Copies of this chain bind each other. A is one copy, B any other.
Amino acid sequence: MHQIQHTEHHFTSSELVRDIVIGMADGLTVPFALAAGLSGTVAPTTLVVTAGLAEIAAGSIAMGLGGYLAARSDAEHYVSERRREEIEIVTLPEVEREEVAHVFREYGLGEAEIEPILKAFQNNHPAWVDFMMRFELGLEEPNPRRALTSAMTIAGAYIAGGMIPLAPYMVVSEKSQGLILSIVVTLFALLVFGYVKGRYTGTQPARSAVQTTLIGGIAAAAAFLIARMF
C-alpha cells in the first residue's frame, strides 16, 4: 500500500511537469506565430496585440478546460472499469482466471507457476481487481484532485508562455521593431524552455532546445507566409 501511494506521488509530479510543458509549448509558439503573421499585414500594432491577447484567452481556456474534462473523464473511466472488473470476478470467475493466466503466459510462466497466483487472488478479491486494472487494462488510479490542478497548470503555463512573444509589441512604437524584438525574445525563451524540458523529460537537453525552437520558428514562418499571401 505504501509503495502504491509512493508511485502515485511520483506520477503526480511528473504529470505536473507534463502539464506545464503542454501549456507552455503551445503558449510560446502559437501567439508568437500569430503575432508574427499579423505583423506582416496591414494590421496596426494595437490589433496585433489584441489578436494575441484574444488568442491567449481562447487557447488557455480551450487547453485548460480541455485538460480539466480529460482528467475528470479519466477518473470516471477508471471507476466504471473498476466496478465492471469487481462484478466480473464474481460472475465470471473462470474468464477472469483465464485472463490472469494469459497475462503471465505471455511472460513465459508455465501453469505450475500460475496456479498458486490464481489461488492467492481467489482469496483476495481487492488485490485481484487491482491486478486486472493495472495489468490487463493498463489503467492507473487517477488522483481525484488532479483535474483542477491540471487545468490551472496548463492554462497558467499557456498564459505565461504567450505573454513573452506579445510583450515586445506592447513596449515598442514601431511594428517592425516589435516583430524583431519578439522573434529574439521568443527564440531565446524557446531555447531555454526546450533545454529545461529536456532535463525534466529525459530527452537530451541540447537537442530538445533545438527542436522546441525549430517548432516555434517553423510555425511562425508558416503563419507569416500565409498572412502575407492574403
Contacts and interface: CB of A to CB of B under 8 A. Distances in A.
A50 B38 contact: yes
Give the size category of A's interface with B.
35 or more
A55 B55 contact: yes
Interface stretch (A29-37, A142-150, A171-179): A29-37
Interface in A93-119: 102, 104, 106-110, 112-113, 116-117, 119
A117 B127 contact: no
B62 A215 contact: yes
Given A41-B47, A63-B26, A106-B3, A227 B53 contact: yes
Nearest to A37: B54
B43 A215 contact: no
A226 B38 contact: no
Nearest to A104: B117
B42 A47 contact: yes
B106 A58 contact: no
Contacts of A90: none
Interface in A119-163: 119-121, 124, 127-128, 130-131, 134-135, 138, 140
A12 interface: no
Given A47-B41, A140-B138, A218 B61 contact: yes
B42 A57 contact: no
A25 interface: yes
Given A1-B106, A25-B62, 14 more contacts: A25-B66, A30-B55, A34-B34, A34-B58, A37-B57, A49-B230, A50-B230, A54-B226, A58-B222, A65-B214, A65-B218, A69-B215, A73-B201, A73-B202
24 contacts: A29-B58, A29-B66, A30-B30, A33-B57, A34-B58, A37-B54, A37-B57, A38-B50, A51-B51, A54-B223, A57-B219, A58-B220, A58-B222, A62-B216, A65-B215, A73-B201, A76-B203, A77-B201, A104-B117, A106-B130, A107-B124, A107-B128, A109-B120, A116-B116
